[in-house]
Amino acid sequence: MTETPTQAGLQSGGYGLRRDALSPMETLAQSVSTIAPTTTPAATIPLVCALAGNGTWLAYVLATAAILLVASCISRFARYSSSPGSLYTYASMILPPSLGATAAWSLLLAYIATGSSVIGGFYHYANLLLHDATGRVASGVFLALLVTAISIAIAWRDVKISARLMLWIEAVSVTLIMTVVVLVLVRHGLHLDWTQLRLHGMTGSGLRLGLVLALFSFVGFESATTLGAEARNPLKTIPRAVIQSALLAGAIFILCAYTEVLGLRTVGQDLGKSEAPMRVLASVGGVPVLGLLIDIGVLVSMFAGTLACITAAARVLMLMSHNGLAHGSLRATHARHETPGRAIMVTGIAAVAPVAVLAARGASGLDVYGWMGSLATYGFIVTYALVCVALPRYLRDHAAYRPGAQIIPWLAFAAMLLALFGNLYPVPEGPYGKLPFIYLAYLCAGMLWFFLQRRREEAPPTES
């Protein structure tokens, strides 16, 4: 029988990665940290509110439903296959090679661009805190290089240390945010905010555009699948991590969206225009000191997101190298640490390079966060859609197909198409309007490499 890449990789010792290194909680930490749930209440929900207004909570309800559809598809794959290539592996096992390559290059860009996004967020919040403490700010380029260098060092040293650190960082940060949210709701009393629930002033176009931004809050929820060669009992722990991270993030985001709109309205402020919403919310809850602590938590969460994205991207790049989609040297793993050192270095540099250039040109950290995050969304949406399309045939091949099994995959596929359309029309203004062309240029370059490699492999050997 011909071995699939996944089977061959596992039988050869997990591609040189450390086997059975991660517990179920540490596997879950990878997905949670890539989502970086602390950043959404502080940075993304205000952007959604600026578009959807009182429909912000509804945008997150719809985004959660769409992501759970996709999570259901991914978890079905993860019950039968574990590999460091994650969604790329799932798509390439079923779809034609060209679509498998599309998924690989899209997923790699998605993780790297998300890393760039949170690096931008890191230097924004670092300078915000530095200015409050000293009245001065540091170079954005220096801060971007610093957080990336530390992340590369940790990801290179030990995936177990990396996962544990990410777990504790996010746990503390989310706890602070939920404490403020609960205090605000308690002070509001046991009655509902009917202005929000009746969607007063919300427009259909605002909800559609807000939904696209709400989806960005979730991207990376599937990144636990990149630990398929390192998680204990991966065929059980990874599917659970995918579903759990989507459910956990959705519940937090919906509650935060509702509470932030409510809390800022009580003091006459517009959430869509607030630059420090969690500080205002902490004051409304009667614990202003937590506002500062949450901003510190957001800063640390941005660091955790950088670490998680480099960890995930490196493993995708390593498997791409094994399958001929990237240079062969990138498949190497460190003899002692059992981590893909070269791939970690490459993905780390790729993540920080555009941020350093933009920061040197004077771009704000929040602008970089928005631009690179939107670019990442294209890669995630395309990859999610391809995985959903591949699922029905995959289930047939594993004798797990049931009547009606196509319903969820096609619903998830339709949701991703609608999200993609929402990104493209109407054409965004300014830098956002250039992002689709940047993604297409990148994808064309990746596919050109793919076709050149295929042509070399199919060429007859030359006679000596």
- Decide if 66 contacts 385 (C-beta within 8 A): no
Instruction: Give the model's pLDDT for residue 84.
Output: 59
pLDDT for res 149:
96
- DSSP-derived secondary structure letter, 273: G
d(CA 43, CA 223) in angstroms, rounded, equals 21
Q: Can you name the residues that pair with 22 across neighbouring β-strands?
A: 231
Residue 242 parent element (H or E): helix 234-266
At 270, give phi and psi (nearest 5°): -95, 120
Q: Tell me what pLDDT residue 166 has.
A: 66
Tokens standing for 83? 């590999």
Q: What integer pLDDT is reported at residue 161 of this predicted model?
A: 62
Distances in Å between the Cα of 86 and the Cα atoms of 25, 59, 98, 221, 383 are: 18, 28, 17, 12, 11
Q: How open is the CA angle 139-143-144, to the nearest 5 degrees?
A: 115
Q: Report the run of H or E that residue 316 belongs to, with start and end.
A: helix 288-322
pLDDT of 355 reads 97
Identify residue 229 by its one-letter amino acid code.
A
So what's the pLDDT on residue 12?
38
- 432-436 long-range contacts (CB < 8 A, ≥24 apart) are 432/370, 432/371, 432/374, 435/371, 435/374, 435/375, 435/378, 436/378
Residues of the chain with pLDDT under 50: 1-13, 464
What is the Cα–Cα distance from 431 to 290, expressed in whole angstroms?
35
Q: How many other C-beta atoms can be found within 10 angstroms of the C-beta atom of residue 24? A: 17
DSSP string, 7-58: HHHHHTTSTTSPTT-B-HHHHHHHHHHHH-TTHIIIIIHHHHHHHHGGGHHH
- pTM assigned to the model: 0.86
Whole-number CA gyration radius for the chain: 22
433 DSSP β-pair partners:
none
Q: What is the 3-state secondary structure (H, E, C) of 56-84?
A: HHHHHHHHHHHHHHHHHHHHHHHCCCCCC
| Distance, CA of 325 to CA of 342 (rounded, Å) | 15
Residue the block writes with tokens 């997905």 = 31
Residue 172 burial class via C-beta count within 10 angstroms: exposed 0-12, middle 13-18, buried 19 and up = middle
Digit-coded pLDDT (tens) for 369-409:
889 988 998 999 999 999 999 998 888 887 777 777 789 99
Q: Kindly report the backbone phi and psi dihedral angles of residue 231, in degrees, each rounded to the nearest multiple of 5, phi listed first.
A: -80, 150
Residue 343: count other Cβ atoms within 10 Å of its Cβ.
Answer: 27
How far apart are the C-alpha atoms of 51 and 238, rounded to whole Å?
Answer: 35
Q: Which of 281, 22, 38, 299 is nearest to 163 (CA)?
A: 22
Q: Is 210 helix (H, G, I), strand (E, B) or coil?
A: helix
Distance of CA 21 to the CA centre of its chain: 23
